[in-house]
Amino acid sequence: MPGSNTVGLKAYGAYVPRLRLSRKAVADANAWFNPALKGLARGERAICNWDEDSLTMGVEAARDCLTPARLDNGAAPAVAAVTFASTTLPFGDRQNAGILATALNFGESVATMDFTASQRAGTSGLLNALQREIGGAAAGDTLFVAADKRRTQASGPQELQFGDAAAAFTVGRGDPVAVYLGGHQLSTDFIDHYRGGDSKYDYNWEERWIRDEGYFKIAPRAIAAALAQTGLDAGAIDRFIMPALIRGVPQKVAALAGIGAGAVRDTLQAQLGEAGTAHPLVMLVDCLQDAGPGETIMVVGWGQGCDVLLFRTTEALAALSPRQGVKGWLARRREETNYNRYLSFNDLLEQDRGIRAELDAPTALSALYRNRDMVLGFVGGKCRICGTVQYPKTRACVSPNCGAFNSQDPHPFAEIPAKVQSWTADNLTYSPDPPAHFGMVVFDEGGRLMAEMTDVSPGEVAVGMPVRMVFRRRAVDDKRGFIKYFWKATPDHTAEDAKGSEV
Amino acid sequence: MARGIKDKVAILGMGCSKFGERWDMNGEDLIVEAVEECLDDAGVERSRIDAAWFSTAIEEQHVGKSGVPLAVSLRLPYIPVTRVENYCASGTESFRGACYAVASGAADIALAVGVEKLKDTGYGGLPQRMRGAVADMYWPNASAPGSFAQLATAYSAKHGVPADTLKKAMAHVSVKSHANGAKNPKAHLRKEIDIDTVLNAPMVAEPLGLFDCCGVSDGSAAAIVTTPEIAKSMGKADLVSVKALQLAVSNGQEASHNSWDGSYFMTTRRAAERAYKEAEIRRPRDEVSMFEVHDCFSITELVTMEDLYLSEEGTAWKDILDGFYDADGKIPCQIDGGLKCFGHPIGASGLRMLYEMYLQFQGRAGARQLDDPKIGMTHNLGGFPHQNVSSVSIVGRYDA
């Protein structure tokens, strides 16, 4: 039975981008070349906006997971480690978990690590976090985040099947919402697909071989080992989570393992698509949003072998504070039917972007380090003398009645509600998605920012509109391969979101 | 308040190049075009100039940094040349430097020259450029129209003026300036337009359409200043003197403190208050004959009419629609076409405004000559509504 010393998942969170690409739009554009795509032209897939990537989605999923503790003071709750899993990491050599931890204001004393290079990085990363907690190596909870922004070439089937999303969990001892029962890792160099270190895209082998020689032979062995290790009977599995793009695979694997057909979870293919290394965990969040106490959940992660993790939900699950989770974010959607825009956002189109797009703006890494809390963490200042909250934090208080030097303490801004004071939709300045929306955003606690806006529908912005701040790509320095991140304002679809979370 | 420099400095001569797309001219050539006229008008040789101030804003686009480009263009005899920059208000800064030198006695005769050669970018609008290592990490990627357009959304919300009503008043601003500019041979844009053209123009930054935005121009303007005593000793009559020069610079309050509502210029109000005091003007709406304001965008001109205390707050749009600021209105504004049509070569614009005042006082403004103006005011703004510099100058007849 769970108790104060039990290791498991203490909270969950997720993120799904607002844009949903209509599969019909993709098939309509490409069926002339690949008629088989017509068979996949149902539903939609989640796609990143131009300013989203695995890291920005990871930050959002983490914020969702840390709700509402983070909302109380804008600062991150205490965790000992932040780990991040993705095979689409924005940086190949700059720790992505470190950027995530900085964006969430975890400070310097947190352990950070990236997990990557396999679709199994998500489940293996979560296993690693659980084992660290069990083994006592962790000095506190671990925030584990998995995210993938899938990258494909144009007009292949995976362009329709993949999706972009993120999931996050707080892992630790205490009173988990899902107790970790045990698991198993099977490693074998089964190459259903691969992506070379310098390649942008996956190279795939034949589906029938992957199904018969891979899924059907490897996964049942891993499942059997996990059941043996935990002493559970296959029939005890209430929920079976296994992503697979080949039709019928999760059902057949469950049957081979002796798991009831009714336990097999929907892969969210119709609404989201498959979110790579994050996907089993995205499905786990979705499952936890449905589950009652005492349910046994099996999660299968696939990629050069097979991970199997077993959890049992607790009474604490129902007591978890409201959050978006997968269901909330899925309900917050905007259909994208312009396939060309998708191609453009994903660098799949050689576009004439005009001379204004040529501006060469390198980042001063020394200045970024000096201002990392301000830029990545969105930390401003609060004057000790007059109480004025302000952004950025400067050496002289901005209050016209104060002006004191050296009087400000750090004050996190990301979770403070804000409203639009003035705005425009700018067709002149370069934007990957014109017109560029920006405006003066005024924070309820004081302070303001002339902020870029994102995830805005035309005609949506108005003076007085509530907004929330989100961590996004500001720009990409193509010449140097550097991605510039900052915070933007986005319409606070609270009502829309709340409706979603009740599903 | 300091005593100020009212009537301590007189304009000895002025010059202004033709503004526009001067494809055949370098910045250095434009300087010579303006200064040749200025020297002829002043009736002095270059050797009489004790010191010079030189304004450009986006110098990396044309002449480069420092005072050297001015000294080289004019082959000045190794005198002090100070290059000044204060966003789009740079032109007035060179004038201020020259006037202060004369008022202080440090120079008998001083030269102010502004230039901007903008049309070498390959695209329309102002050149895009970096804003500094730190600002580039958090400032929005905003165009100038995008920054100023927000005045309109904030003004509409604050004063309850419907967006389409405000848009019509803004359109009137542009129609009026086009009518004025059509009469100015040195203006960049010399075509009259009707209100429908403005209202139906492509949107640049909501709600600013193409005709709500001023021209992006090449050009140069220059002034030679001295003391009234020296001017008289040179035989000059009908002197035009400086009544007030004031500048207010944002300290970040608009950008970072919630006391500003986004619908007006804190700087312009401060600078105007100080300028009226320095010039001893109590009722500007009655006492000032004409205005040249920084109409980079139609909405800028509209709110500036309130910030200069000409229209009551929240009513400028009515005065504008009533024709109060038209060429035949009570206080003509932008009689030379303004930034909108004369054009906006940044470093020259403040001097261009003063050039028009100077011509009007001397009865040399041709088809656009006003009837006996006595006091004129220029307003030269730089930056963005939420962070800017605002320069207000009052000039007039020395005997007024």
Question: What backbone phi and psi angles, to 5 degrees, belong to A212?
Answer: -75, -45
Alpha-carbon dihedral sign for residues B30, B36, B42, B48: positive
Q: Do B204 and A427 touch (CB under 8 A)?
A: yes
Identity of the residue in B123, B146, B153 whose CB atom sits nearest the CB atom of A354: B123
Q: How does the average pLDDT of chain B come out, rounded?
A: 97
Q: What is the ipTM of this complex?
A: 0.95
In the predicted structure, residue A302 carries a pLDDT above the cut 70: yes
Q: Do both B282 and B383 map to the same domain?
A: yes
In a domain, B167, yes or no: yes
From B143's Cα to the closest Cα of chain A, the distance in A is 5
Catalytic-labelled residue, pool B62, B178, B294, B344: B344
Q: Do both B73 and B164 map to the same domain?
A: no
Q: Calculate mean pLDDT across residues A132-137.
A: 88
pLDDT one-digit tens code per residue, B126-174? 988 888 999 999 999 999 999 999 999 999 999 999 999 999 999 999 9
Q: Do both B16 and B154 map to the same domain?
A: no
Chain B residue with minimum CA distance to A400: B253
Q: Do both B76 and B158 map to the same domain?
A: no
Total number of domains in chain B: 2
User: One digit per residue, pLDDT tens: chain B, 400 residues?
Assistant: 688 999 999 999 999 999 999 999 999 999 999 999 999 999 999 999 999 999 999 999 999 999 999 999 999 999 999 999 999 999 999 999 999 999 999 999 999 999 999 999 999 899 888 889 999 999 999 999 999 999 999 999 999 999 999 999 999 999 999 999 999 999 999 999 999 999 999 999 999 999 999 989 999 999 999 999 999 999 999 999 999 999 999 999 999 999 999 999 999 999 999 999 999 999 999 999 999 999 999 999 999 999 999 999 999 999 999 999 999 999 999 999 999 999 999 999 999 999 999 999 999 999 999 999 999 999 999 999 999 999 999 999 998 7
In the predicted structure, residue A2 carries a pLDDT above the cut 70: no
User: Beta strand pairing status for A142-148 and A81-85?
Assistant: parallel
In a domain, B4, yes or no: no
Provide the 10 A C-beta neighbour count for residue B120: 12
In a domain, B131, yes or no: no
User: Given this model, what pLDDT does residue A503 score?
Assistant: 29
Q: Do both B193 and B102 map to the same domain?
A: no
Q: Do both B304 and B381 map to the same domain?
A: yes
Q: How does the average pLDDT of chain A come out, rounded?
A: 94
Structure-block tokens of residue A130: 């659980």
Of B125, B22, B99, B32, the closest CA to residue B354 belongs to B99
The pLDDT-based confidence of A72 (bands split at 50, 70, 90) is low
Residues of A whose CB is below 8 A from B384: 450
Query: B88 catalytic, yes or no?
Result: yes
Q: Do B256 and A450 touch (CB under 8 A)?
A: no
In a domain, B152, yes or no: yes
User: Given this model, what pLDDT does residue A496 score?
Assistant: 53
The fraction of chain B above a pLDDT of 90, given in percent, is 97
User: Given this model, what pLDDT does residue B130 score?
Assistant: 86
Question: What backbone phi and psi angles, to 5 degrees, belong to B35?
Answer: -75, -30
Three-state secondary-structure class, residue B357:
helix
The set of residues, in sequence order, having a beta carbon less than 8 Å from that of A495 and lying 6+ positions away, is: none
Do A20 and A26 form a contact (C-beta atoms < 8 A)? Answer: no
Q: Do both B268 and B155 map to the same domain?
A: yes
Q: Calculate mean pLDDT across residues A101-108.
A: 95
pLDDT one-digit tens code per residue, A375-415? 999 999 999 999 999 999 999 999 999 999 999 999 999 99
Angle at A57 between CA A179 and CA A107, to 5 degrees: 75
DSSP, res B115: E
Q: Calculate mean pLDDT across residues A48-72.
A: 92
Q: Calculate mean pLDDT across residues A111-123.
A: 97
In the predicted structure, residue A43 carries a pLDDT above the cut 80: yes
* Distance (Å, whole) CA B175 – CA B181: 10
pLDDT one-digit tens code per residue, A453-486? 999 988 999 999 999 999 999 999 999 999 999 9
The set of residues, in sequence order, having a beta carbon less than 8 Å from that of B5 and lying 6+ positions away, is: B99, B100, B103, B242, B244, B245, B278
- Burial class of B190 by CB neighbour count within 10 A (0 to 12, 13 to 18, 19+): middle
- What CATH number is associated with residue B308? 3.40.47.10
In a domain, B2, yes or no: no
Residues of A whose CB is below 8 A from B386: 440, 450
Which residue has 């904030």 as its token pair?
Answer: B154
Identity of the residue in A422, A427, A450 whose CB atom sits nearest the CB atom of B153: A422
The pLDDT-based confidence of A499 (bands split at 50, 70, 90) is very low
Q: Do both B226 and B280 map to the same domain?
A: no
Identity of the residue in A375, A424, A484 whose CB atom sits nearest the CB atom of B205: A424
Chain A residue with minimum CA distance to B130: A361
Rounded to the nearest 10 degrees, the angle between the axes of helix B298-307 and helix B266-279 is: 50
Q: Do both B244 and B229 map to the same domain?
A: no
Q: Do A486 and B128 touch (CB under 8 A)?
A: no
In the predicted structure, residue A493 carries a pLDDT above the cut 60: yes
> Which residue, B178, B198, B233, sits at the end of a domain?
B233
In the predicted structure, residue A501 carries a pLDDT above the cut 50: no
Q: Do both B227 and B175 map to the same domain?
A: no
Do B375 and B400 form a contact (C-beta atoms < 8 A)? Answer: yes
Q: Residue A446 to residues A93, A393, A412: CA-CA distances in angstroms?
A: 38, 13, 12
Residues of B whose CB is below 8 A from A448: 255-258
Three-state secondary-structure class, residue B93:
helix
Q: Do both B350 and B290 map to the same domain?
A: yes
Residues of B whose CB is below 8 A from A446: 258
- Best mutation target among B60, B150, B264, B296 (most A Cβ atoms within 10 Å) is B150
Q: Which domain holds residue B56?
A: 10-118+218-233
In a domain, B126, yes or no: no
In a domain, B75, yes or no: yes
Three-state secondary-structure class, residue A409:
strand
Query: According to DSSP H, which parts of chain B are helical?
Result: 27-42, 68-74, 90-104, 135-138, 144-159, 163-181, 195-199, 228-233, 253-256, 266-279, 284-287, 298-307, 316-321, 338-341, 346-361
> Which residue, B200, B233, B266, sits at the end of a domain?
B233
Identity of the residue in A400, A424, A475 whose CB atom sits nearest the CB atom of B146: A424
Chain A residue with minimum CA distance to B154: A422
User: Given this model, what pLDDT does residue B313 score?
Assistant: 98
Domains of chain A in start order, with CATH, are 6-345 (3.40.47.10), 365-378+413-501 (2.40.50)
Which residue has 């786990």 as its token pair?
Answer: A284
Query: B344 catalytic, yes or no?
Result: yes
In a domain, B311, yes or no: yes
Residues of B whose CB is below 8 A from A355: 121-123
User: Given this model, what pLDDT does residue A1 score?
Assistant: 45
Q: Do both B65 and B171 map to the same domain?
A: no
